[in-house]
Amino acid sequence: MRGARIATVLLAALLAGCASTPDAPWQSLADASQWRSVGASTLDARWQVRDGELALTVAGGGDIISVDTYGDFELELEWRLPAGGNSGLFYRAVDASPIWARAVEYQLLDDREAEDRIVPSHRAGAVYDLVAPARDVLRPIEEYNQARIVACGPRVEHWLNGVRVAAYDTDSDGWRRRVAASKFAGQAEFAKARRGHLGLQDHGNAVYLRNMRIRSLGQGCP
């Protein structure tokens, strides 16, 4: 009997240790070797890293993905676009084109001039075509914006300039209703992966990203 109690205590301690697994250290994503074009082994030359900034310098470079994959993670970066600019950041993405058909997108947009601003769920910080940002906290066009994504199992949060602007749970009925009413309704694999690449979109204009870093979250992530 005493042995059974000891085993129970040891099991509880083991489970507690798993639940408190520390988060991994931050990893910079500022090196060109950490990115490649979708479906390729190298990075298109129109995507370049200069002084720690990853930029699409000339439209036509195509979408790109991270070399590594991530499951539960916290991602931070700063981004800016030219006037009227449009781009997107994908996560838990599959290395297949079109990337948007399977991966959720954090929208990068000039909400002042871009044509896509007309649709609320297409504005900066949105879960593209699914969840509109709760507030307009976008900075002037010449300034960098701060983006943050926290992904923990089915729960994901989008942050913009220090404000949580969108959140969702892929296991919820509300999420399923949103997908059914969106452009992704016919995409059977959309948002199904719990681990995948990061992706950056070539939407026909320049995009600039800096101070991009990521860390994997431990078990029992918030």
pLDDT of residue 191: 97
What value does the mean pLDDT of the chain take?
91
Strand blocks (E) in 81-176: 86-93, 104-109, 145-152, 155-160, 163-169
Domain boundaries in the chain?
Answer: 24-216
Q: What mean pLDDT comes out for the span 188-209?
A: 97
Name, in order, each residue with C-beta under 8 angstroms of 192's C-beta and a sequence gap of 6 or more: 102
Contact 203, 58 (CB under 8 A): no
Query: Whole-angstrom Cα distance, residue 25 to residue 34?
Result: 17
Q: How confident is the model at residue 218 (pLDDT cuts 50, 70, 90)?
A: confident
Looking at domain 24-216, its CATH superfamily turns out to be: Exo-inulinase; domain 1 (2.60.120.560)
pLDDT, tens digit, for every residue of 1-13?
A: 444 443 333 333 3
Whether the bond between 133 and the residue before it is cis, its omega within 30 degrees of 0, is no
- The model's pTM is 0.89
Contact 105, 122 (CB under 8 A): no
Q: How confident is the model at residue 21 (pLDDT cuts 50, 70, 90)?
A: low
Q: Which helix (H) or strand (E) holds 178?
A: helix 173-180
Q: How many residues does the chain have?
A: 222
Q: Tell the residue number behind the tokens 């204009």, with chain if given.
A: 205
pLDDT, tens digit, for every residue of 199-211?
A: 999 999 999 999 9
pLDDT, tens digit, for every residue of 92-122?
A: 999 999 999 999 999 999 999 999 999 999 9
**For residue 201, how many other CB atoms are within 10 A of its CB?**
22
Q: How confident is the model at residue 185 (pLDDT cuts 50, 70, 90)?
A: very high
